[in-house]
Every structure is written in C-alpha cells, then in structure tokens.
Amino acid sequence: MSPLRQALVGYLQIRRALGYKLERAEKLLLQYLEYLDARRADTVTIETAVAWASLPAAGKDGHWWALRLSAVRGFARYLHALDPSHEVPPPDLLPDRSHRAIPYLYSTEELLALIAATRTLRGELRQATYRTLIGLLTVTGMRVGEAIRLDRADVDLHHAIVTVRDTKFGKSRELPVHPSTVKALRSYLRLRDRLLPEPACEAALLSAAGTRLRYCNVHSTFRELRRSAGLEPRSPACRPRIHDIRHTFAVQTLLGWYRAGVEVQPRLPLLSTYLGHVHPKDTYWYLTAAPELLQLAADRLERSQGDAS
C-alpha cells in the first residue's frame, strides 16, 4: 500500500471516529489517488487537485466540481499537518455557486395522492412497501436512507417505537409513533411475511425480491409515483422530491405549534432531536421554508411588542 493510501486509511478512521460517514468522500479520494498514481505523483498539489476535480468526465456542473475539490481539501489539510509539502487548495477555487432547492411542501391531498398512486405499481408487495414507506416518511420525518436501513427488529410494535440506527451522523434515536402508524406497520409486516416468509435480508421494508430497498430505485419509483399523482414543479427550483416529505413534516410540526399558541423556541431542540439534526441551525432553517410560518412568526412578534409597549 502506498504512503498516500495508508494516510487515507488513517484520515478516514479519525473522521469516522468523530461521527462522519464519508462514504462518498472515500470513493472520491480513492479516485483522486488513482489519478495521482497514473501520473506517478506522491504529493497532493493544488494543480493536480483542481485538474482532477474539474475533469471533463465530471461534467460541467460547478456544484459537482466543488464537491470533488472539497473532498480533496479536507484530506490535504490532514496531510499538510503531517508533511508541509502537501498543498491545501484554497476555498475560493471552484466555489460552489449552487443554491439550496426550495422545499416542495406537500399538502395533505398531495400526500394522499402519492399513496394512492402506489396502486399503479406492479406487484402486491411493491405496492404495499411504497405505500408504507411514504406513510412512514410522512408521520416521522425520517430521512429516506434511514427508512430503508430499518431492520425488522427496529420496529417495536408493542411499545410503538421505531429505532433509527446508523444515522447520517452515526447516532441512533427512538421515534414514538401513533397507534394508527402501529396498525399500518403491523398490517404491512403481516402481508410481507405472507408473501415472503423467508426474505433475503433483515430489512423491515422489502423489495419484491425480498431484498433491502436501494436508494436509487426508491428515487426512480418516486418519480413514477409523482407522475401518476399528477404533481408538477411549482418553479424550476421547487420540484417535488421524496426528501421534501421530511421538510413537510418539519414545517407542519412548527405550524401546529404556532397555531396552538405554544412557545416554539423552547421546543425547537425537541424537533431537532426527533429529526436527527446535529446542529440546531439545521432545524432553524425550516422557519424560513414556508411563507405561512414566517407570517405566523411575524404576527407573534408584533403581538409581543405590542404587549411590551
């Protein structure tokens, strides 16, 4: 193993001990090291980092170029601390000029239309799996990756708790669910056990082949469901994505609190924990996601200022 590859192993071990997964970063850095090997280079330089990050094979997507260079930059900082001959690409090289997508906040009718659209899928189990997946995302706000990583043992119907393990930041959390969700999960598990009594894996949500759902297949199936449900983009930057079901859950929770007249600020850490956010700022972002939320917050602020005067 070359010195750079040995250093990469150490770098990944340290970062993962801090809770980072770095699955994509590892793949990208291995590709960069292959690029260096082909040029018989044993030192990270700004020139090779930028040249690799902006290869034509990467396309002309500035966001993708910035992502590739960012992966190298983190590794280069680690290497530079050990050996100053390694160069760290400055942050202003290949900057990410992309803008965060505007969340597509689903109405109740749109979510029901997505669930109804699962009837157009082929196969009874596939229909039930995607009906359950969309329903579970709607009532828990969990990430798609978290839902498809659920094992059968993570669904505790007796205590009405779904345990999310191996999350985006390496932490686990328990999500209490409503009795109606327990009923739906129990119905799905009975159906899948009848159709596939000996599945090929321990996943709670199964594909028609009895295997764990794959992320790319979930997204392609969701596009199919979105078309069947008749959901169209509201603007070029606001398109219906499956991840927006999580955004909708967060915003609806905040709206419910505002409408109930409760103090939202002290409850935000609870929502942050439930969603699995590491930084509260990630939850605060949802406050700007819906005009109705901003109006409710502004109305409350105006009332509080009026009471103080």
206 phi/psi in degrees, rounded to 5: -110, 150
Indicate if 286 belongs to the active site.
yes
Dist. CA 36–CA 94, nearest whole Å: 20
Catalytic residue among 165, 168, 173, 239: 168
Catalytic residue among 130, 188, 274, 286: 286
Indicate if 277 belongs to the active site.
yes
The answer to whether residues 154 and 204 touch, using CB atoms and an 8 Å cutoff, is yes
The answer to whether residues 132 and 205 touch, using CB atoms and an 8 Å cutoff, is yes
Dist. CA 173–CA 160, nearest whole Å: 14
Indicate if 168 belongs to the active site.
yes
Indicate if 243 belongs to the active site.
yes
Catalytic residue among 73, 143, 226, 247: 143
Dist. CA 254–CA 268, nearest whole Å: 9
User: How open is the CA angle 220-185-139, to the nearest 5 degrees?
Assistant: 70
What tokens were used for 278?
């590491």
Catalytic residue among 16, 152, 243, 300: 243
Catalytic residue among 131, 149, 246, 247: 246
Parallel/antiparallel/unpaired status of strands 155-156 and 173-176: unpaired
Which residues are designated catalytic? 143, 168, 243, 246, 277, 286
